[in-house]
Chains A and B, each alone.
Chain A
Amino acid sequence: MAISPVFFYLFAAVAILCSLMVVFKRNPVANAFSLVLVFFAFAGIYAMLDAHLIAALQVLVYAGAIMVLFVFVIMLLNADVPSFDLARSHAVVKVASITGCLVLLGLFIWAFKNTTFHAPIANFTPENVEAAGGNTRVVSELMFSDYILPFELTSVLLLGAIVGAVAMAKRKAGPNLPPGYRGKA
């Protein structure tokens, strides 16, 4: 693929560093903001890969809406206190998990390295897309023609999500204990 190696490796390094910070930093606010940086790096990579609409959406939706939601919730729950959760029980499980993840990573990289990609299957070459009016136009036109059904279903999904989230987060009268609960009230 004809993309700029320098920029790609730059964005990639930022993304990897910040995602490591997401996972291993103890302050949840630090985690949240590292994640925002990761999203920006990803947006950059999308732009390099000629997915302009996706890049824009990444920033708008992920970094702009979802992360804001996260930070709000962190604030609501006073969860910005650092949690020392890496040093408690199940140390063995944690080590085993990381080992497993590394093995999985090895498998993926080996798989990707040894696959042969065949020739392009469709005709959305960069020249054709440029000629048709740009990436955004092409994607939108496809969305409302070939992919209209998933589009409509997604709106239903969002409606359900809204209703569900509101119903769940609403304050209810009286004690809110689930049945069979044995922790502290």
Chain B
Amino acid sequence: MDQLTAQFTGQVEPWVVLSFSAVIFVIGLAGVLVRRNILVILMSIELMLNSVNLTFVTFSKQLHDMGGQLSVFFIITVAAAESAVGLGLIISMFRTLRSVDTDEIQLLRE
């Protein structure tokens, strides 16, 4: 019973949490680089932002400073605003291109 309880309380090293957040970040980064559907790219960006939020919260818990959590608050707000505007852009782009493929939007070529 104690052993069982011990499974539910104990230590997780901070670096484990941080590297988990790094894994999520890298998965999001891979999504940005690999996928061509622009909606999926935006979702991958949200993944990256979330991993950063987790890093902030971890440090906040570790250093006993609330500044981390407040930063997360603002990051969430800004992410929300940014997705709204980004999705508006996608709709506008879709009206002209009739496609959400990033390979179609290469006007900046050369």
Contact = CB atoms under 8 A, between A and B. Distances in A.
Interface string A16-45: 100110110000100110010011001001
Contact of B30 (A4, A98, A115, A121): A98
Interface residues of B, number: 80
A7 B9 CA distance: 9
A183 B104 contact: yes
Contacts of A35: 43, 46-47
Interface size class of A (residues with CB under 8 A): 35 or more
Given A62-B50, A94-B34, A113-B15, A165 B78 contact: no
Nearest to A35: B43
Nearest to B100: A79
B64 A125 contact: yes
Contacts of A135: 69
A41 to B, nearest CB: 10
Contact of A23 (B20, B30, B77): B30
A173 interface: no
Contact of B101 (A20, A22, A32, A85): A85
A139 B72 CA distance: 11
Contact of A16 (B24, B39, B54): B24
A69 B63 contact: no
A165 B87 contact: yes
A6 interface: yes
A171 B73 CA distance: 33
A176 B15 CA distance: 51
Contact of A101 (B9, B30, B66): B30
Contacts of B35: 23, 85-86
B27 A20 contact: yes
Contacts of A131: none
A182 B72 CA distance: 42
Contacts of A42: 50, 53-54
Contact of A115 (B9, B15, B88): B15
Interface string A133-154: 0010011001100010010001
Contacts of A28: 37, 39-40
B10 A2 contact: yes
A92 interface: no
B100 A22 contact: no
A4 B10 contact: yes
Interface of B: 7-20, 22-31, 33-37, 39-40, 42-44, 46-47, 50, 53-54, 57-58, 60-67, 69-70, 72-74, 76-85, 87-92, 94-98, 100-101, 103-104, 107
9 contacts: A28-B39, A51-B69, A69-B84, A70-B39, A77-B94, A85-B35, A98-B33, A102-B26, A113-B15
